[in-house]
Amino acid sequence: MEEEREGGGGKVRALIERATDSTQPDVDPRLLKAIKSLVRYSDSELRLAAHTLMEFMKRDHSQVRYLSLLIIDQLFMRSKLFRTLLVENLDQLLTLSVGFRRNQPLPAPPAVAALLRSKAIEYLEKWNSSFGIYYRRLRLGFYYLKNTLRFQFPNLQANAARLQQERRERERRSKEIVLNKFETLKENFQSIKEEMRLTVDEIGECLDIIRNGGEDSMLLDNLEDEEEIEEFRSSELRQIRHETLEEGKKVCENSENKVVFDALRELHKLLVTNHLVTIQEWISVLIRVEATDNRFRDSILKEFIDIRNHLISVKKKCEELGCALPRIANNEEEEDFWEEGKIGLNESRASHPRENEDIATASTSSELKNTTPGCSYKVPSGKKILECEGGRIESSSPRSKLLAEAPVMKWGSYLDSWGSKRDILANQRGLDLENHWGRVDYDAVIPAEKIAELNVQATVYKEEQLEIQPCHAPLHKGRLCQRRDLRVCPFHGLIIPRDDEGKPLDQNLSEDVITPDSGTDLAEQLAKQAIKNVRAKDKEVARKREIDQKSLKRAKLAKVRKHNEAVLRDAALASTSLSASAGEDMVATNSENASTRSNKQALASMLRKKVTAKDRIAQRLLNTRARDATVRQLTLDVDANYKEAFPNQW
Partner 1 sequence: MWREIGDRETGKIRPNLFANRIKWNRIERLQLSDHKEIVTPHRGSINSLQVDLTEGRYLLSGASDASAAVFDVQRPTDYEGGGVIAKHNCIFSVDKQHEGGHRYAISSAIWYPVDTGLFITGSYDHHINVWDTNTTQVVMNFKMPGKVYKIAMSSLATSHMLIAAGTEDVQVRLCDIASGAFAHTLSGHRDGVMAVEWSTSSEWVLVTGGCDGAIRFWDIRRAGCFLVLDQSQSQLGRRPPILERFATNKVSISKSFLTSPSSFTKARPPKKLANGNGLKQSPIGKIPAKGPTRQRLHPGMLSSQDRATAHYGAVTGLKVTEDGMYLLSAGSDSRLRLWDVESGCNTLVNYETVRLQTSKPIQLATTQNSALVFVPCMTTMKAFDVWSGKTSLTFSGHYESVNCCWFNFHDQELYTGGNDRQILIWSPSRLVSDEVEEGFTQDQDHWSD
The pattern of x and - marking residues 221 through 240 that bind partner 1 according to CB under 8 A reads: --------------------
Total of residues contacting partner 1 (CB under 8 A) = 25
Interface with partner 1 (CB under 8 A), residue from 63, 79, 280, 363: 79
| DSSP 8-state symbol, 275 | I
Interface with partner 1 (CB under 8 A), residue from 148, 190, 577, 612: 148
| DSSP 8-state symbol, 472 | -
Interface with partner 1 (CB under 8 A), residue from 34, 115, 140, 245: 140
Q: How far apart are CA 498 and CA 479, in angstroms?
A: 13
CB of 151 to partner 1, least distance (A): 12
123 binds partner 1 (CB under 8 A): no
Interface with partner 1 (CB under 8 A), residue from 8, 23, 26, 33: 33
Interface with partner 1 (CB under 8 A), residue from 8, 25, 80, 479: 80
Q: 648 has which bridge partners?
A: none
Residue type at 304 in one-letter notation: F
40 binds partner 1 (CB under 8 A): yes
Q: How far apart are CA 325 and CA 13, in angstroms?
A: 87
Do the beta carbons of residue 413 and residue 378 sit within 8 Å?
Answer: no
CB of 80 to partner 1, least distance (A): 5
Q: How far apart are CA 31 and CA 295, in angstroms?
A: 66
Interface with partner 1 (CB under 8 A), residue from 99, 141, 374, 380: 141
58 binds partner 1 (CB under 8 A): no
78 binds partner 1 (CB under 8 A): yes
Do the beta carbons of residue 283 and residue 207 sit within 8 Å?
Answer: no
CB of 150 to partner 1, least distance (A): 12
**Which range touches partner 1 (CB under 8 A), out of 139-147, 353-361, 555-563, 618-626?**
139-147
Interface with partner 1 (CB under 8 A), residue from 1, 14, 111, 133: 133
What does the chain come to in residues? Answer: 650
Q: Around 260, how many Cα atoms within 13 Å sit in the side-chain half-sphere?
A: 22
Q: How far apart are CA 495 and CA 480, in angstroms?
A: 13
136 binds partner 1 (CB under 8 A): yes
Q: Where are the beta strands (DSSP E) in 314-362?
A: none
- Distances in whole angstroms, Cα of residue 532 to Cα of each of 107, 276, 503, 537, 539: 62, 75, 21, 9, 10
Q: How far apart are CA 609 and CA 110, in angstroms?
A: 12
338 binds partner 1 (CB under 8 A): no
327 binds partner 1 (CB under 8 A): no
CA dihedral sign of residues 107, 112, 114, 117: negative
DSSP 3-state of 431: strand
Helix or strand (DSSP H, E) at 354 = none
446 binds partner 1 (CB under 8 A): no
DSSP 3-state of 155: coil
**Which range touches partner 1 (CB under 8 A), out of 77-85, 194-202, 445-453, 496-504?**
77-85
Between 143 and 491, name the residue whose CB sits nearer to partner 1: 143
The pattern of x and - marking residues 168 through 197 that bind partner 1 according to CB under 8 A reads: ------------------------------
**Which range touches partner 1 (CB under 8 A), out of 31-39, 54-62, 500-508, 622-630?**
31-39
CB of 153 to partner 1, least distance (A): 16
491 binds partner 1 (CB under 8 A): no
CB of 357 to partner 1, least distance (A): 50
146 binds partner 1 (CB under 8 A): no
Q: Cβ contacts of residue 383 below 8 Å, gap of 6+?
A: 319, 326, 330
Interface with partner 1 (CB under 8 A), residue from 1, 60, 104, 143: 143
135 binds partner 1 (CB under 8 A): yes
Do the beta carbons of residue 112 and residue 66 sit within 8 Å?
Answer: yes
Interface with partner 1 (CB under 8 A), residue from 134, 296, 491, 642: 134
Q: Around 585, how many Cα atoms within 13 Å sit in the side-chain half-sphere?
A: 5
Helix or strand (DSSP H, E) at 494 = strand 493-494
Instruction: Report which of 78, 80, 81, 63 is spatially closest to residue 27, judged by C-alpha positions.
Output: 63
Residue 602: count of CB within 10 angstroms of its CB? 13
Between 78 and 369, name the residue whose CB sits nearer to partner 1: 78
Interface with partner 1 (CB under 8 A), residue from 51, 59, 139, 249: 139
Interface with partner 1 (CB under 8 A), residue from 5, 18, 59, 137: 137
Q: How far apart are CA 201 and CA 195, in angstroms?
A: 10
**Which range touches partner 1 (CB under 8 A), out of 125-133, 321-329, 405-413, 475-483?**
125-133
Between 43 and 524, name the residue whose CB sits nearer to partner 1: 43
CB of 78 to partner 1, least distance (A): 5
445-446 and 424-425 as β-strands: parallel, antiparallel, unpaired? antiparallel
Between 29 and 407, name the residue whose CB sits nearer to partner 1: 29
- Distances in whole angstroms, Cα of residue 227 to Cα of each of 222, 223, 236, 314: 9, 7, 18, 34
Q: DSSP secondary structure string, 406-422? A: SPPPPP-GGGGGTT---
Helix or strand (DSSP H, E) at 327 = helix 324-333
Between 117 and 268, name the residue whose CB sits nearer to partner 1: 117
131 binds partner 1 (CB under 8 A): yes
Q: How far apart are CA 384 and CA 348, in angstroms?
A: 9
Interface with partner 1 (CB under 8 A), residue from 4, 17, 91, 565: 91
**Which range touches partner 1 (CB under 8 A), out of 140-148, 228-236, 259-267, 276-284?**
140-148
142 binds partner 1 (CB under 8 A): no
Rg of the chain over all Cα atoms, to the nearest angstrom: 44
Burial 557-574 (b: 16+ CB within 10 A, else e): eeeeeeeeeeeeeeebee
CB of 156 to partner 1, least distance (A): 19
Between 141 and 374, name the residue whose CB sits nearer to partner 1: 141
Do the beta carbons of residue 182 and residue 286 sit within 8 Å?
Answer: yes
Interface with partner 1 (CB under 8 A), residue from 5, 10, 144, 599: 144
CA dihedral sign of residues 117, 118, 122, 123: negative
Q: Measured at the alpha carbon of residue 233, what is the angle toward residues 228 and 236, in degrees to the nearest 5?
A: 105
CB of 116 to partner 1, least distance (A): 19
Between 51 and 269, name the residue whose CB sits nearer to partner 1: 51
**Which range touches partner 1 (CB under 8 A), out of 57-65, 134-142, 369-377, 600-608?**
134-142
CB of 120 to partner 1, least distance (A): 15
**Which range touches partner 1 (CB under 8 A), out of 34-42, 189-197, 518-526, 570-578?**
34-42
Interacting residues toward partner 1 by CB under 8 A: 33, 36-37, 40, 77-81, 83, 91, 130-131, 133-137, 139-141, 143-144, 147-148
